Amino acid sequence: MKLILFVWLVLSAVSELTSADNFEVWGSWYGGFLGQVCFIAPPHLKGWRLLVRFRNDVEGITTWNSLLERKVDNRNFILRNNFFNGTPQPGTKICCVIEGRTKNSIKPEAVVFLSDTAITATTTSRRPPTRRRPTTTRRPTRTKRPTTVKPAPMPPASSGNTPNYAEVLGKSILFYEAQRSGVLPKDNRVKWRGDSAVHDQGLRGEDLSGGWYDAADYVKFNLPMASATTMLLWGLYTFKDAYTLTNELDNMYKSVKWPLDYFLKCWNPKTQEYYYQVGSGKLDHNYWGRPEDMHMRRPAMKVDRHTPGSDVAGETATSLALGSIVFRQKDRAYSDKLLLAAKSLYKFAKEVPGKYPLKDYYDSSGYKDELCTAAIWLYRATKDSNYLKDADLYYTDELAWAQDWDDKIIACQMLMYEEKRTRRHAQVVKDFFTSWRPGGDVPYTPGGLAYRNKWGSLRYDANTAFLALIAAEDGLMVDDNRKWAAGQINYMLGKNKENFSYVIGYTNNYPLHPHHASSSCPNPPATCDWDVFDSTKPNTHILYGALVGGPNTHDHYIDKRDEYEYSEVTCDYNAGFQSAIAGLIKLQHDNKLPPIVG
């Protein structure tokens, strides 16, 4: 009865925007869809609510540029304005992105009603809420290319001189040093960074200092952090020669050891507790300033025998197992320590199955893919065939959507192919890369960039480029995979129609206003606050090596801090990218780099 009354109150002052087609569908698949609804702000608008009424049952939705106020039932959802957006001017176009979760495949249709009910803000925050769209979509079959992006021919490996991959590799490592939390080492190379969050601790006072800050903010999210660490370690494992050739091997060992040390702190095998996050997203995103000056509360969150977290524990076990292999020749004692932690953490993830409870930022879609990759790397580290048997249980032939912090299906499939070398596994891997080629499932920009998703578009491309280079090493679609990977990475490095590098500090034409708090701050004792965020001046410090989110579907990039869809940087974005760069350096040294065209 209360829900019915609430809907009636919302509708008491509403108007229907248009008919069912006011909800624009960007894409749909088995288990979900993505789209947006827009409206023009009427005069005297103080705040607003939208009642989104679907024609079919929808299990749940995630929204951007709005807040989900209430799920009335499986067909009615109420959204409201974000406080940080302020009061929109009359005539302003307001758009809300909606991702829906369904039990099967539906063609989403919805009628949307607008209420100009005033909503009073309870916070002074002006910060965009975060972040990138969670990629929780697992697509068992290919979907049609959206009609909003026209297909384009594959770009050449380069349209001019070959990029300086060695310079990019070194600068990418430097970016991760800028993301360090805790007590910085004596050889700290990022001089505008200092010790920060040194008192991060668990619920019983456990030392949880260290690790990487996630993005522009200062929360430590272990699922994307572990995923990034895995991708970096995988690149070091496969293309170690690239780091040796560029004299970056020692810097790389130091780089990946930083999060590995932190993961060891987060896992207590005796109490069977694993801390997966430090910091509050809501508190953190109200703050724009230096990490060294933080004073907000930084709560820690954990999973245990009563609260499962097979996804985040499984991914962390993956990075620990892979880390043990990478460090085996360099530091045997440390390698053994990592392996011991990986085995016990994997055992915990396997025995207490389920997704971890984080929902607001990095909501996980499942955990079998993480357990699959963890099992295979543990098999490689131990030669215990029981791990490979486990991986078989978690394996699927499903066509992967992408590789990212949440989705490791293609990683599982590629690793399984490397272990078994069967036609079945080879075909599954080939199908994935074919789906990313022009004419497949992934749309392309006019300039030739594969465009999987608007949130961190370059991240998906870079991850796939890295995997394509590995597949070529495995003998799968060798020439095509190498040419495609080089072309996509070169686009990011400035081989595009704008001659614009999406890597900060590389070439003379790169983003100057990245959505990144610490690099935007002036040197102390000058104040750093939301006035700095709003400033049109370039960031004070150059965040060398950071890969920004990327352009839109028309190859257009907006270099503004508040356009974080384009300008944000994250540890996740750089990981596959850096490993792809390492692969291209190895090809260049071996005279196997695809020929330059144009």
Distances (CA, A) of 395 to 29, 164, 229, 278: 21, 38, 22, 31
Q: Is residue 122 part of a domain?
A: no
100 and 249: one domain?
no
The token pair that represents 103 in the structure block? 């039990």
Sole residue written with tokens 């690099």:
519
Cα gap 418→467, rounded to integer Å = 13
Which parts of the chain sit beneath pLDDT 50? 1-21, 83-86, 118-159, 598
- 3-state SS of 323-370? HHHHCCCCCHHHHHHHHHHHHHHHHHHHHCCCCCCCCCCCCCCCCHHH
Q: Which residues pair with 60 in a beta bridge?
A: 101
CA nearest to 213, candidates 241, 182, 174, 256:
182
Burial 93-132 (b: 16+ CB within 10 A, else e): ebebbbbbbbeeebebebbbbbbbbebeeeeebebbbbbb
Q: Is residue 145 part of a domain?
A: no
Cα gap 62→48, rounded to integer Å = 18
The token pair that represents 305 in the structure block? 């025998």
Q: Is residue 142 part of a domain?
A: no
Helix spans in 352-477 (H): 368-382, 385-394, 409-420, 423-435, 457-473
461 and 333: one domain?
yes
pLDDT of residue 155: 46
Q: CATH number of the domain at 187, please.
A: 1.50.10.10
Cα gap 169→189, rounded to integer Å = 15
DSSP character string of 55-68: SS--SEEEEESSEE
109 and 200: one domain?
no
- Chosen domain end from 81, 99, 115: 115
pLDDT of residue 156: 45
442 and 340: one domain?
yes
pLDDT of residue 14: 45
CA nearest to 573, candidates 225, 254, 278, 97:
225
Compute the half-sphere exposure of residue 204: CA atoms within 13 Å on the CB side of its CA.
8
CA nearest to 403, candidates 343, 360, 352, 452:
452
311 and 193: one domain?
yes
The token pair that represents 301 in the structure block? 């969150």
Cα gap 146→141, rounded to integer Å = 15
78 and 202: one domain?
no
Which residues form the catalytic set? 559, 568
267 and 392: one domain?
yes
The token pair that represents 554 in the structure block? 């028309």
- Chosen domain end from 100, 115, 130: 115
Q: CB neighbours (10 Å) of residue 34?
A: 21
- Chosen domain end from 55, 85, 115: 115
Q: CATH number of the domain at 56, please.
A: 2.60.40.290
Q: Is residue 156 part of a domain?
A: no
Q: By residue range, what is the domain housing residue 404? A: 165-589
Cα gap 268→266, rounded to integer Å = 7
pLDDT of residue 65: 66
Q: Is residue 169 part of a domain?
A: yes
**Predicted confidence (pLDDT) per residue in 564-579, tens digit:** 999 999 999 999 999 9
Spell out the residues 6+ positions from residue 134 whose beta carbon is closer than 8 angstroms to its own. 62, 99, 361, 362, 363, 365, 406
The number of domains in the chain is: 2
Q: Is residue 270 part of a domain?
A: yes
**Predicted confidence (pLDDT) per residue in 12-40, tens digit:** 444 444 433 467 776 666 667 778 888 77
Q: Is residue 7 part of a domain?
A: yes
Cα gap 568→461, rounded to integer Å = 16
pLDDT of residue 185: 97
Asked if 92 contacts 44 with a C-beta cutoff of 8 angstroms, the reply is: no
Q: Is residue 595 part of a domain?
A: no
